[in-house]
Amino acid sequence: MSDFRRYLAARVVAVAGTLVSLVAMPVLVYQLTGSPAWTAAVAAAEALPYLLFGLLAGALADRWDRRTMMITADVVAAVALGSVPLAWWLGVLGAPQVLVVAVVVQTAFVFFDAANFGALPTLVGPDRITQAYSTVFGATTAVELVVPALAGLAVAVTAPAPLIGLNVVTALAAAVLVRGIGGPLSVPVPEGARRTVVAIPVAIGEGLRFLAGQPVVRTLTLVGTANAVAGGAWAAMLVPWADRVLGVPPDGDPRIALFFAMYGAGGIVASRIVPALARRVGGARLALGALPVALACGSAVVAAGHWVSGLLAAACWGVAHATVVLNAITYRQQVCPPDRQARVNTTARMLSWGLGMPLGAGLAGVVAVTDLGPRGGLAAGVAVLGLGVVVAWATSPLRAAARAARATAGGPASAAPRPGPS
């Protein structure tokens, strides 16, 4: 299991550095401009590359060497990130540069993520994927609890631009760790199909057809998009909402660190409960239950008028949001053939995270510049999540799968998903 430990370490190191930038960049732009719209633009830019390049990245990751893709992506991200503290030190840093760096770094992440998602099932095997992914998710969400809090404290007392330099170090460290994995991260691909231009559209089509042929996965992807819209609104509005609604400014007030930490803390809880809940009730029933809870918690965040109630509501929302995400990912990985893991997962993430996050951030930014302010921006994202809850309960695939899971006796195996047509 030394290879899995290296894989896990690389993921944890990469996530830690990314979290520093995710905290520092919105604060940096907000300090440079004082504008919720600019802050929302950065949040949207960080998610938009998944929509633009997700299909291509997934197809390439199933045909090219995944190890090389991950290492290259880390190096590209390190170079782009390094330009931010350099420009700050030279006194020429502006919000447009931060926006461009966010796009470049997240584009690199799309290709890294495509290879990373495909690599894990190949590394551990299909029988251990749920436990392995839960371990990865639990470790990364533990980092999400600690790092944002520390980064939030740091940006409250010092300039955020130099902190982004830490992400340069972690990106390079992740590349070294991936390089040290000895086991295979890719499945064999016929040499003639590996790099041909014609093969790429064919590979993309295979991923789309598989996703379209799985009713439960298709529905989970659709409602996952609504869940991601709400998450995008949260990412875009966190700093201006805390500042203008709750009286917690991003500089000089250590309470901002708690807001960055508590939403991520919910992911730790989700990583502990999702494997057991999925085995007990099945992925469809878990989704049907978690989505309304996420809606209720998001609504509580919108209604919060004090920083303590806002903090508690954000923590609960983090649990529900992460449960929806983790449940959908593990279900999808269980039903997907190994040679299509990267394509199917990046296609689904392109539609949910890649489409939903920038839509949520953009929607929140547009609403926030009106009289409704940051609270209204959050409310707009939560309203879209409400539509997702309606879709989940009104359409047949999730309810049919939930009924089948309840009706089938025999324990955890009864809830296991079965592959459909590809």
Type and span of the H or E element at 224: helix 215-244
Q: Which of 199-213, 294-308, 336-350 has the highest mean pLDDT?
A: 294-308
Distance, CA of 76 to chain centre: 20
Q: How many CA atoms lie within 13 A of 289 on its CB side?
A: 13
pLDDT at 206 over 60: yes
Comparing 332 with 316, the larger pLDDT belongs to 316
pLDDT of the residue at 245: 92
Q: Across residues 311-323, what is the average pLDDT? A: 89
Lowest-confidence pick of 61-65, 153-157, 380-384: 153-157
pLDDT band (50, 70, 90) for residue 78: very high
pLDDT at 96 over 80: yes
Q: Where are the domains of the chain?
A: 2-415
Q: Which of 63-67, 185-189, 246-250, 333-337 has the highest mean pLDDT?
A: 246-250
Q: How far is CA 392 from CA 150, 241, 380, 389, in A?
A: 37, 29, 19, 5
pLDDT at 413 over 50: no
pLDDT of the residue at 339: 64
pLDDT at 86 over 50: yes
Contact 13, 70 (CB under 8 A): no
pLDDT of the residue at 412: 37
Q: Which of 95-104, 228-237, 375-384, 402-411 has the highest mean pLDDT?
A: 375-384
pLDDT of the residue at 198: 45
Show the tokens assigned to 177.
């760790």
pLDDT of the residue at 407: 64
- Tens of pLDDT along 236-265? 898 899 999 999 887 777 787 788 777 666
Task: Report the alpha-carbon angle 255-230-228, nearest 5.
Answer: 115
- Phi, psi (rounded to 5 degrees) for 412: -60, -35
Q: Across residues 22-51, what is the average pLDDT? A: 80
pLDDT at 422 over 60: no
Q: Structurally, what CATH architecture does the domain formed by 2-415 represent?
A: Up-down Bundle (1.20)
> What is the Cα–Cα distance from 361 to 29, expressed in whole angstroms?
15
- Phi, psi (rounded to 5 degrees) for 140: -70, -35
Comparing 62 with 288, the larger pLDDT belongs to 288
pLDDT band (50, 70, 90) for residue 200: low
Contact 352, 318 (CB under 8 A): no
- Tens of pLDDT along 364-396? 989 998 989 999 999 999 999 999 899 888 877
> What is the Cα–Cα distance from 326 to 270, expressed in whole angstroms?
8
What pTM, to 2 d.p., does this model score?
Answer: 0.64
- Tens of pLDDT along 39-60? 888 877 776 787 788 777 777 8
Q: Across residues 402-421, what is the average pLDDT? A: 47
> What is the pLDDT of the chain when averaged over all its residues?
79
> What is the Cα–Cα distance from 314 to 264, expressed in whole angstroms?
9
pLDDT at 400 over 80: no
